[in-house]
Amino acid sequence: MRRRPVISLSAATGLLEAIEAAGANPEQVVRAVGLPPAALSKPDGFIPCAQFARLLDEAARASGDDCFGLHFGERFNPKDVGPLAYVMMNSPTIEAGFQNAGRYLSVHNQAAKVSFGVEGRFAYARHLLVDPAIEAPRQHNEYSLAVALNMVRLMAGSSWSPLEAHFAHPDPGQHSEQTRIFGAPVAFGRAANAFVIEREFLDRQVPAADPRLYPILRRYLDEVLTEVPSEDDLLGSVRRAVAESMRHGDPSLTKVGKRIAMGPRTLQRRLKDQGVEFKALVDDTRRLFALTYLRDPGHTLAEIAYLLGYSEVSAFNRAFRRWTGSTPSDYRRRAAR
């Protein structure tokens, strides 16, 4: 049985406050979709994306705000998403920013795909939910496109609006709020959620981009994506969660379980069913990342130890010698030849 696609709880930053401001009881809304009251208190965790979509839908029903997802997305700060937002904000051009969104979105949301293409004088930046478990996508669609609008405005300027905004769900009847927020004509029932933009807009430079920070962010996200071996869905998800947790210290079973919306006992049992010990999986994931970091001369040994979750370089040295039979410094010298 494959695990359901998940979304980072950073997507729900400020959601409880938004529900309360809209006149509904946040605790009741959260309980109504089968989540414990404290489920949204850990922004570094994950929940099934279908459950997040139901949460937005229930918030709209309970508050009486038919455009709740749209309004929540309008007020959402994309920086709360984390590394994905920062790599886009520091991309050299708008086109590179869209490319990075497509490449790295799965780090944040496994249930959606982003793509863009050029058709004549126009370009289309598309976003599509691909999780069949999401039965009512409207609130999630409108939330996602509103957040995307804020993201592009961080890159290009706060006055930017697309030529058109498209939605994959049916026309809700009244769409004055959608027109107001996007500052453009809106259309519904399309193949994907999308912005229609001028072709020339893709070539625009991102004024606030930091060319020194950009490659660091790219390397980090590339490592999260590519250093996780292609394997069983559960094992790949656990490795990704371990990689995300390492920067904050030792990746415990409880911490990693929260990131993939699974209790520690359940996670341990599922891994045991596949003949895998959690500690061994953490150890092997650290080894993979250590080898990658050491091939990059831009990382000092102290930085690598920190990125792998070790409190001291000496602990990293001991672990690396156990993995490879040599010290990190010796490995780096050989790799540089």
Identify the residue with better confidence: 70 or 288: 70
Q: How far apart are CA 309 and CA 167, in angstroms?
A: 42
The fourth-level CATH superfamily of domain 6-203 is: H-NOX domain (3.90.1520.10)
Q: How far apart are CA 101 and CA 88, in angstroms?
A: 7
Q: How far apart are CA 303 and CA 156, in angstroms?
A: 33
The pTM is what? Answer: 0.70
Q: Is 19 helix (H, G, I), strand (E, B) or coil?
A: helix
- For 226-244, the DSSP string reads HSS-S--HHHHHHHHHHHH
* 76-85, 158-167, 232-241, 263-272, range with the lowest pLDDT: 232-241
If you average pLDDT over every residue of the chain, what do you get? 88
* Domains 6-203 and 227-335 alike in fold: no
pLDDT at 307 (0 to 100) = 86
Q: How far apart are CA 324 and CA 287, in angstroms?
A: 9
pLDDT at 3 (0 to 100) = 57
Asked whether residue 224 carries a pLDDT value surpassing 70, the answer given is yes
In the block, residue with structure tokens 């990693």: 256
Number of neighbours of residue 274 by Cβ within 10 angstroms: 11
Contact 302, 290 (CB under 8 A): no
Joined together, the tokens standing for residue 113 give: 């795909």
* Residue 270 CA: distances (Å) to CA of 113, 178, 259: 28, 44, 15
* 119-133, 174-188, 228-242, range with the lowest pLDDT: 228-242
Domain 227-335 sits in CATH at 1.10.10.60
First to last CA, the chain: 46
Number of neighbours of residue 324 by Cβ within 10 angstroms: 15
Q: How far apart are CA 279 and CA 247, in angstroms?
A: 17
Joined together, the tokens standing for residue 2 give: 């494959």
- For 173-200, the DSSP string reads S--HHHHHHHTS-EE-S-SSEEEEEEGG
The torsion defined by the Cα of 28, 147, 195 and 125, in degrees rounded to 10, comes to -110
Nearest residue to 325 (alpha-carbon basis) of 292, 295, 287:
287
Q: Which is it for strands 186-187 and 164-166: parallel, antiparallel or unpaired?
A: parallel
Q: Which is it for strands 186-187 and 122-129: parallel, antiparallel or unpaired?
A: unpaired
Predicted confidence band at 335 (pLDDT cuts at 50, 70, 90)?
A: low
> How many residues are listed for the chain in this entry?
337
Q: Is 119 helix (H, G, I), strand (E, B) or coil?
A: strand
Query: Average pLDDT in the 59-84 region?
Result: 95
Domain boundaries, the chain: 6-203, 227-335
Nearest residue to 76 (alpha-carbon basis) of 140, 135, 148:
148
- Any idea what the Cα angle at residue 191 is, between residues 186 and 197, rounded to 5°? 50
Asked whether residue 242 carries a pLDDT value surpassing 50, the answer given is yes
pLDDT tens-digit readout, 143-165: 999 999 999 999 998 899 999 99
Q: How far apart are CA 266 and CA 3, in angstroms?
A: 12
